[in-house]
């Protein structure tokens, strides 16, 4: 078994798809050390040859992996050579889709990134809303939110809110459950009247302790007992108001944002399935 492998993500666009596909696959092999590098916006054959020269020089005959989302056939030919293991993210699926649909694909770089003015306006509006309603600000305006994320300090509320706004175009507010609310197990009116938009974040005491300890080492705020008590009271508050709960322990921001959207039945045609599971 190999103990290490070089991987290159190449694209005629941002490279996000190639990168995400590769990472989703190689994470299934935790015992192997992967050395990763990304090359986006490869739009000419000359650029492709220059990058391929760099890859071959670095690999020294070790047959590196290349994950590609390049559309242009001439550019692909530069990389699809015997010296590497070439994984074309589009080839298999596009050809099969063409056969199934009896139609020809556009095969235009960046087609998936084209958005309408309405899409852009909604995303910008969502980002502005998120920034203006971070950390419990302007509770009176929660009626306009698509989602309201609740949780104790450092549970991950802000990163999820920002992701949902910037990547999913959803107006997302977040509210910190401080001792003022935890001690009485209650929520302000702005949240109570919008409970259908609310989702609660929880985590393990150990995870919260580690996060807080990095910020305020040795403090009562970070000690394990405090974390355990706050999490317990927050979960009891969520239960009291029948708020769905999502654990952030060991999960990526993308995973948690998707779960929030699913729990609140927020539908975005290209992101969240409308099937109720």
d(CA 159, CA 241): 24
At residue 27, the 3 state secondary structure works out as coil
The DSSP output letter for 134 is G
Residues of the chain with pLDDT under 70: 1, 110-118, 267-277
> What is the reported pLDDT for 117?
61
d(CA 36, CA 59): 12
CA dihedral angle for residue 140, residue 202, residue 24, residue 108, rounded to 10 degrees: -10
First and final C-alpha spacing in the chain = 40
> What is the reported pLDDT for 271?
40
Q: At what angle do helices 157-168 and 117-132 cross, to 10 degrees?
A: 160
Query: Which domains, ranges and CATH numbers included, belong to the chain?
Result: 4-112 (3.40.50), 117-263 (3.40.50)
CA dihedral angle for residue 146, residue 152, residue 158, residue 163, rounded to 10 degrees: -60
- Residues with Cβ within 8 Å of 20's Cβ and at least 6 positions away in sequence, in order, are none
Among 264, 277, 256, 121, smallest CA distance to 202 is for 256
Which pTM was predicted?
0.69
């Amino acid at each position: 078994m190999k103990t290490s492998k070089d991987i290159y993500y190449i694209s005629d666009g941002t490279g996000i798809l190639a990168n995400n596909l590769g990472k989703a696959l190689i994470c299934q092999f935790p015992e192997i050390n992967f050395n990763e590098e990304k090359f986006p916006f490869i739009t000419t054959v000359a650029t492709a040859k220059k990058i391929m020269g760099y890859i071959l020089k670095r690999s020294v005959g070790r047959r590196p992996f290349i994950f590609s989302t390049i559309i242009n056939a001439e550019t692909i030919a530069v990389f699809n050579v015997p010296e590497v293991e070439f994984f074309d993210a589009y080839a298999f699926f596009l050809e099969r889709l063409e056969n199934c649909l009896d139609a020809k694909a556009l095969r235009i770089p960046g087609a998936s990134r084209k958005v309408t003015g309405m899409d852009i306006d909604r995303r910008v509006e969502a980002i502005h809303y998120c920034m203006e309603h971070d950390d419990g600000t302007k509770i009176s305006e929660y009626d306009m939110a698509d989602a309201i994320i609740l949780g104790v300090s450092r549970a991950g509320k802000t990163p999820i809110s920002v992701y949902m706004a910037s990547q999913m175009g959803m107006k997302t507010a977040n509210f910190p459950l401080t001792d003022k609310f935890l001690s009485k197990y209650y929520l302000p009116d702005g949240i109570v009247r919008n409970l259908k938009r609310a989702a609660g974040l929880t985590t393990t005491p150990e995870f919260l302790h580690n996060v807080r300890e990095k910020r305020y080492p040795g403090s009562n705020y970070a000690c394990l007992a405090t974390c355990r008590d706050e999490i317990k009271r927050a979960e009891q508050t969520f239960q009291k108001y029948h708020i769905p709960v999502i654990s952030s322990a060991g999960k990526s921001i993308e995973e948690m944002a998707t779960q929030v959207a699913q729990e609140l039945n927020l539908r975005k045609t290209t992101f969240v399935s409308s099937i109720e599971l």
